[in-house]
Amino acid sequence: MGRRTPLHDLHVASGARMVDFGGWDMPVAYGSQVEEHHAVRRAAGVFDVSHMGIIDLSGAGARALLRGLLANDVARLARGGRALYSCLLNEAGGILDDLIAYHFAADDFRLIVNAGSRDKDLAWIGPRAAAAGVRLIERTDLAMLAVQGPEARAHVAALLPPAVVDAALALPAFHALRFGAWCVARTGYTGEDGFELMLPAAAAADAWRALNARGVRSCGLGARDTLRLEAGMNLYGNDMDETTHPLESGLAWTVAFEPADRDFTGRAALEAARARGAMRRFVGLVLEERAVMRPHQRVRVAGGAEGQVTSGTFSPTLQCSIAFARLPPGAEPQVEVEVRGRWLPARVVKFPFVRNGRALVSGITGGSKQP
C-alpha cells in the first residue's frame, strides 16, 4: 500500500477505484471516467492532488538559488503572487522534474513538484539550499485540491473568506493569492480555467464535501490524464525524464536563455544541443482509423525512420485517438503508428488539441472512435 493523502478515507468511502500512482494510493475514478472528463470541460470537477510536493524556499539567497537551479528564470516574477512553469535539469540537460514556481514576496518562493519525483527533487535541491543559506520546508501539513472547469472559480470563491473573494476572482492566469495557511492559485493541468487550492490538511475533507454539495464532481487520475493530454500538457515519466531535454520535449518555451549571463544548471548542454541542431521533434498525433494509441508504440515516418508514442489515449472531447510522440528530425505531416501489429495512418498536428472546451484541431472526423 502506498502513501495516503489526507483525503484517502473520503475517496474510499465514496467508492473510488484506487490505484498506485508514484508511490501513493490514489483514486483513478469515482464512476465513469468519461463523465468526469466531460464535467470538467462543461462545468467543474475537483481533483485531489495532495500527493504532489509543496516546497517552500525563503531567505536572502532564495531568488539567486532558483535562478541557478531552474531552466526558466524566476527573475521574470517581478511582482509577488506570480507563477511560472519550469524544468529542473541535471548538468546534461536531462529533465529531473517539471514544476511550478510561485513568488510571494521578496525571497519567498513555493515549488509544486511531481509526486514520483518529490524525494529526488528534495535530495537535489536540499543540499544546494543549505549551502546557499536558504530555508527549505516541505509542507506536509498542507493538502492540495485542483478545481477545474468553466464554473470552477465561482465554486471555490464560495469557500473563501469574504475579505479575499474579490482578490481571488481578480487573479490573472498563473497568479496566486496567499492568506494565512491557505493559497489559491489560478493554475491547472486540464486546459480549463480554475483554481488550485492549497490548504491545511485538516480542512481538506470539509472543502471537498462543500464543493460536492455545490455540484462540483469528484474526479480521479483517469480523467486528469485524458484532460491534460487533450490540453497538450506533458506528464513526467512518460513524455520527458532524465534521458530527454526540454528542447526535444515541446518545452523550449520554458527555457530562458536570456540574459546570457545567467548560468543555470544544464545550460551548457542545452546550448550545445541548439548548436548541433536537427534534434528530435515532439509532436501531437491524431489517429485516422478506429483504434487507440498508447505509450511506447512505434511510429514510422517517411524513409523508414522510427519514433515512439510517449502518451496516447482516446479523446472524449474529439471522439478519436490522440497522442504525443517523439519523432526523428524532419518527420512528415503523415506518419504510421503500430497498433496491435497493424500500421495505421496518423496525422502530425500542433498542440493543444483542446483548450477551454474548444477543439483546436481541424479535420477531425471521428473515424478512430473507441473500439
Q: What is the pLDDT of residue 231?
A: 98
What's the mean pLDDT in 263-290? 96
Between 33 and 361, the more confident residue is: 33
Q: Is the pLDDT of residue 366 over 60?
A: no
Rounded Cα–Cα distance for residues 292 and 344 (Å) = 10
Q: What is the pLDDT of residue 365?
A: 53
What band does 369 get if pLDDT is binned at 50, 70 and 90?
Answer: very low
Q: Is the pLDDT of residue 99 over 90?
A: yes
Rounded Cα–Cα distance for residues 167 and 175 (Å) = 11
pLDDT tens digits, one per residue of 7-57: 999 999 999 999 999 899 999 999 999 999 999 999 999 999 999 999 999
Phi-psi region of 325 (alpha: psi -120 to 50; beta: other; left: phi over 0): beta
pTM of this structure: 0.95
Cα–chain-centroid distance for residue 192? Answer: 12
Q: Is the pLDDT of residue 370 over 50?
A: no
Written as nine digits, the cell of 37 is 472528463
Residue 126 phi, psi dihedral angles, 5° rounding: -55, -55
Q: In 3D, which of 18, 21, 7 has the Cα closest to residue 212?
A: 7
Q: How many residues does the chain have?
A: 371
The three-point CA angle 136-138-144 to 5° equals 135
Q: What is the pLDDT of residue 75?
A: 96
Question: What is Dmax (Cα atoms) for the chain?
Answer: 63
pLDDT tens digits, one per residue of 164-190: 999 999 999 999 999 999 999 999 999
**Looking at beta carbons, which pairs linking 153-156 to residues 24 or more positions away fall under 8 Å?**
153/186, 153/193, 153/194, 153/195, 155/44, 155/211, 155/214, 155/215, 155/216, 156/184, 156/194, 156/195, 156/197, 156/211
Percent of the chain with pLDDT strictly greater than 90: 92
pLDDT tens digits, one per residue of 200-236: 999 999 999 999 999 999 999 999 999 999 999 999 9
Cβ contact 218:37 at 8 Å: no
Q: Is the pLDDT of residue 371 over 80?
A: no
What band does 283 get if pLDDT is binned at 50, 70 and 90?
Answer: very high
Percent of the chain with pLDDT strictly greater than 70: 98
What's 261's DSSP letter?
T
What's 360's DSSP letter?
-
- 45-48 vs 217-219, strand pairing mode: parallel
Q: Is the pLDDT of residue 362 over 90?
A: no
Q: What is the pLDDT of residue 302?
A: 87
What's the mean pLDDT in 240-265? 98
Q: What is the mean pLDDT of the chain?
A: 95
What's the mean pLDDT in 362-370? 55
Rounded Cα–Cα distance for residues 174 and 134 (Å) = 25
What's the mean pLDDT in 104-110? 93
Q: In 3D, which of 4, 17, 113, 16 has the Cα closest to residue 57?
A: 113
Residue type, 355: R
> What is the number of H-type helices and E-type strands within the chain?
9, 21
Q: What is the pLDDT of residue 79?
A: 79
What residues pair up with 219 in beta bridges, in sequence order?
A: 47
Q: Is the pLDDT of residue 62 over 80?
A: yes
Q: Is the pLDDT of residue 267 over 70?
A: yes
pLDDT tens digits, one per residue of 305-344: 999 999 999 999 999 999 999 999 987 799 999 999 999 9
